[in-house]
Amino acid sequence: MPAQYTRRQLFQQGAAALGALAASRVFAESAGAKPETGAPSLPVAIQRCASYEPAVVRSHLQQALDLIGGIQPLVSEKTVAIKMNLTGGPNWQLGGLPAHRTYHVHPQFVAAACALLQEAGARRIVLLESGYDQRSLETVMAAGGWDIEMINRAGGGRVTWEDTRNRGSWPSYSRLRVPWGGYVYSGFELNSWYEKADVFVSLAKLKDHANAGVTLCVKNLFGIAPTSLYGDNYDSAGKPAANEESVTARGDTFHKGTRMPPDGLLPELDPSSSRHWGHRVPRITADLFGVRPPDLCLIDGVETNRGGEGPWIQGVQPLQPQLLLAGRNGVCTDAIGSAVMGYDPTADHGQFPFMGDNHLKLLAEKQVGTHVVGQIEVRGLSLKDALYPFNPKRLKVGEPLFG
């Protein structure tokens, strides 16, 4: 009896076939790309992870960490800060699914990370994100369906939470400088956890981004800039102003460049430079990554979405790649993550999937890490077996990211 296929199954099989063809070219092109002089390469681990069942995700995350050398030497007796990707808050749904099933890192992934960190001897674990709510971070996420006590227990009672939209529990901000001088800014004022923590982790989601092309461990750090200083805050005279109670976005300051930082903060290096988001967003992303590169990068790709960073982007769709990734260098980790998605991480500025400039290329040029797939050792699941094409239809430059 002939097999019966649903329309969805036919689409998925066709997408996979097209994606495999595209990816074979992606990997070949990237492997043959000219290396950026001096850009370091560290291995990246990929694991198949079929679900968020606690024992399953914890086991596969442990295997991924073991494959890159383990974390005990890195975190033992240290304070570990984790920047989670919780962009947009938890109140949206995507395809009828909650945020943590699509565009946010999943609480069980967070819990697994906390459990493994405390087992490796971490003295303290601080969960961080810059939110858009004056309530505490854990209160907001609990209202969005997270089991906060479950995460705290997983971390052995060593977990604390802080919203880094302002200075939070610290008496002042920390000024951190971009080591190469910066593309747009020479440095930023940040919540002091980003300076004071001994170890910094970027806990990202495997997904597209409407501006940046991909948002993985590098783009996750766009959210470390406090909205109290870089948000769209103005005084009564219309002058940029700091506001510790702010819950605004950073659109005017970062995306559009129509607002300068308040007096006393490091100014833009060149206020006459392009105001186009395709120029600014990748460069500010690179600058923010540069001031505090993560010591460990973890990517949740068990469930996610394609077409953009969240449900406010038209045409986004839920996906289930059933993958997780781990690495020690953010550029290398994101290069492999991009390749898994069927993209070429060495694509030139303005080339698909990078609708603007390629932030991975910008960082590779500053020797932060290589973005050339052929120069990065992949451990665990092979790229061929991990391939999950997010957009098998190759678009022309200038077309929307999806749809």
SS3 sequence of 126-180:
EEEECCCCCCCHHHHHHHCCCCHHHHHHHCCCCEEEEECCCCCCCCCCEEEECCC
What number is the average pLDDT over the span 140-156?
Answer: 97
pTM over 0.85: yes
Place of tokens 């961080």: 128
Q: Give 283-314 pLDDT, tens digit per residue.
A: 999 999 999 999 999 999 999 999 999 999 99
The 10s digit of each residue's pLDDT in 247-291 is 999 999 999 999 999 999 999 999 999 999 999 999 999 999 999
For position 38, what pLDDT does the model report?
Answer: 72
Query: Please, what is the end-to-end C-alpha distance for the chain in angstroms?
Result: 36
More confident of the two residues 153 and 402 = 153
Domain residue ranges of the chain, discontinuous segments joined by +: 43-386
25 or 124: whose pLDDT is higher?
Answer: 124
Taking residues 337-341, report their average pLDDT: 97
Q: How far apart are CA 360 and CA 136, in angstroms?
A: 33
The pLDDT of residue 8 is above 60: no
Only one residue has tokens 């073991």, namely 66
Q: Per residue in 358-371, pLDDT tens?
A: 999 999 999 999 99
Alpha-carbon distance of 332 to 187, in angstroms, equals 23
pLDDT cut 90: percent of the chain above it = 87
What DSSP element (H or E) covers 334? helix 330-340
